[in-house]
Chain A
Amino acid sequence: MTPSHDVVLVGGGGAGLRAAIAIAETNSKLSVAVVSKVYPMRSHTVSAEGGAAGVISPDDSLDEHAYDTISGGDWLCDQDAVEAFVKEAPQELLRLEHWGCPWSRETDGRIAVRPFGGMKKMRTWFAADKTGFHMLHTLFQTSLKYASVARYDEWFVTRLLVDEGRVQGVVAIDLKSGRIDAITARAVILCTGGCGRVFPFTTNAAIKNGDGMALAYRAGVPLKDMEFVQYHPTGLPFTGILITEAARSEGGYLVNKDGYRYLQDYALGKPQPQPVFRTMELGPRDRLSQAFMKELEKGRTIDTPYGPVVHLDLRHLGQKKISAKIPFVRELCLKYQNLDPVKDLIPVRPVVHYMMGGVHTDINGATLLPGLYAAGEVACVSINGANRLGSNSLPELLVFGTRAGRTAAEYASLGLEVTSRVLAQSDDERRRLEGELLNHKGRERIADLRDEMQKTMEESAGIYRSGASLARGVERLRGIQERSSDIAIEDQSKTFNTERTAALELSFMLDVAEAIVTSALHREESRGAHQRTDFPKRDDQRFLSHSLIYRNLDGPSRVEYLPVTMTRWPPAERVYGEAAPNEGQHHVAGSALPSGTGV
């Protein structure tokens, strides 16, 4: 019997669970399935540390949040989407509070907010420094009370079923038994998150392989703005473990090998002893990562066995403040890097953190393929434009998870039936997975191809790109793609075959990597996270628009452009530090920080 549901969600992280609850609350008669390759509480939302932005302070406004987001995104955000987002974000965060999320509090019991990079006002809600963990577990535990939500834990989705121009379900492997089955549905929502693992140094977990992006791409759905890859300026070398921005907003310094706060050399303001909004260490992530590359060129970084690093200095904050405000940072350093930020400098380097791009959706999460929706990092609405602001991604997955859930519920209620042809497609897919992929005596090791792909991505589409590096990247990826048809799979077992899933993940990543490099090659300008050495200026004449890349089986992928939606904020220069058009500088003084926030 082929399992069948009204709505199938691929991925059980923050966006997926929020969407599942939204559907259950919209119409409890609709049957919802959360299909996830890991147990939902293992999803990568769990790793988000810093917080979630939502306007609640009386001195803050939705317009200011919108402006920070749009200017931070270098005017590539769709402004109607941003306006909806900033309006709904506080409501969504509040709803999570009602569901039990342990937000940190003021002494009088109100929600506490903290400052965050790129945000001019304090509007970041946080749950100590495990915000993503608490949000995910709150959502997961809350989802357990809805009888209409079924779960397919540890089912790996391998393709979308499409017939009559609409999506009708997925094919998935039940990892425990190896059974391959179609799960048919009237609507499918992709909530699989990002694809950081196409790069060598990333904060992303091992499961972040761009599965959903590739599934959509292969089904003919365009990916949007894939050239915009966010680096987080402070990851630990070797592991890529992220040292949250909160470490800087609490007053940490970034210094080069001479102990010099080098950010002052890159138009990010003058160093002050106290952190200042949108200045120096609280500048936007892309600028900080780019400053690292310049320091590297100047030979002012520190060499380590895992490549060049700079130092994050927290020592002046003292043990008390570090333990009270950012205990997780200290725990991570002690446990994984064997150093103590109270006494030692933390070696950090830029690491790939987030994909601004993703499956092209409208403001309600709908893709161009009827019945297919996407939300969270896998999707590109776009509220993040060319560079996402820290603490916007957690509210994004709530706001657009909800929107996609509701819209999909409405579409599923139309009651379109599954056609018989998709079952034939599912049989084809089973044959491919059990024939080709269980019995493949090729010569190429999965890990070798993966390493080579990652190296290629770093070299061709890293923090700085050029036409030449990208063209070379396209070429090399094509070579790796070809070699991947000769892959070796030693594991013949049907029970929890993780080598087969690794091969499938590699093929997803190769498709996504190709989309990133090709999109980057076509955008001949520098904007936000996309910095071309051969086109160092932003070019609003040609590129104030989203790229849409379509996969083409017979030849190179096709890139088209879609104008950015503007409502109230015309493009302006993106300025940080002293030159910023600010009404004076806002010190993030110790006294202005939320006191007694039960972190």
Chain B
Amino acid sequence: MGQRHAYTEYHPRWLRRPVSTYWWLQKRSYFAFILREASCIFVAWFVVYLLMLVRAVSEGEMSYRQFLSWSASPLILLVNLVSLLFIVLHAITFFEAAPRAMVVHVGGRRVPNGFVGAAHYLGLLAASVIVVWILLGA
């Protein structure tokens, strides 16, 4: 835009520099951002995977066993491993962002960002403990 016109007096010709398609490769932080954005695909995959599990269970033991052996295939294992990494990335970046979005006041004083972040990790830990307790305790 603009570059092609000739200059005419008193009408400055601005130089517009379009953003490269590969802008996200130009900086490490941009690349990290794209990875974080991509992590939502893997969140979606886990939801689908969970739904498949539920369907397999509802269709009886046979179907459940088939699902388990399918899940043990190297490809699915790999997909799930990669997904786990992205989910961890997603969680960490989400928890980093949370204190910036949430400003909590207790007794008229602003709670420091570190505390808000720590509270999120504590919440994650508590949820994990409950899940582990259900899985192992039951």
Contacts and interface: CB of A to CB of B under 8 A. Distances in A.
Chains A and B form a bound pair: yes
Interface of A: 176-179, 494-496
Interface residues of B, number: 4
A179 B9 CA distance: 8
A176 B12 CA distance: 7
A495 B7 CA distance: 10
Contacts of A496: 12
A37 B16 CA distance: 24
B109 interface: no
Contacts of B12: 176-178, 495-496
B16 to A, nearest CB: 15
Contacts of A176: 12
B27 interface: no
Interface of B: 9-12
Nearest to A496: B12
Given A177-B11, A177-B12, A178-B12, 9 more contacts: A176-B12, A177-B10, A178-B9, A178-B10, A179-B10, A494-B9, A494-B10, A495-B12, A496-B12
Contacts of B9: 178, 494
A437 to B, nearest CB: 16
A496 B10 CA distance: 11
Contacts of A178: 9-10, 12
Contacts of B10: 177-179, 494
The main secondary structure of chain A at its interface with chain B is: loop
Nearest to A177: B10
12 contacts: A176-B12, A177-B10, A177-B11, A177-B12, A178-B9, A178-B10, A178-B12, A179-B10, A494-B9, A494-B10, A495-B12, A496-B12
Minimum-distance CB pairs A-B, first 4: A179-B10, A177-B10, A495-B12, A177-B12
A23 B11 CA distance: 33
A153 to B, nearest CB: 14
A179 B10 CA distance: 5
A586 to B, nearest CB: 35
Nearest to A178: B10
A176 B9 CA distance: 11
A373 B129 CA distance: 75
Nearest to A495: B12
A176 B10 CA distance: 8
A494 B11 CA distance: 10
Interface centre among B9, B11, B12 (most CB of A within 10 A): B12
Contacts of B11: 177
B110 to A, nearest CB: 12
A300 to B, nearest CB: 48
Nearest to B7: A495
Nearest to A175: B12
A127 to B, nearest CB: 20
A177 to B, nearest CB: 5
Nearest to B13: A495
A177 B11 CA distance: 6
Contacts of A177: 10-12
B74 to A, nearest CB: 56
Contacts of A495: 12
Nearest to A179: B10
A100 B138 CA distance: 61
B102 to A, nearest CB: 22
A494 B9 CA distance: 8
A495 B10 CA distance: 8
A428 B36 CA distance: 62
A178 B12 CA distance: 8
Contacts of A179: 10
Nearest to A181: B10
B5 to A, nearest CB: 14
A40 to B, nearest CB: 21
Contacts of A494: 9-10
A350 B109 CA distance: 43
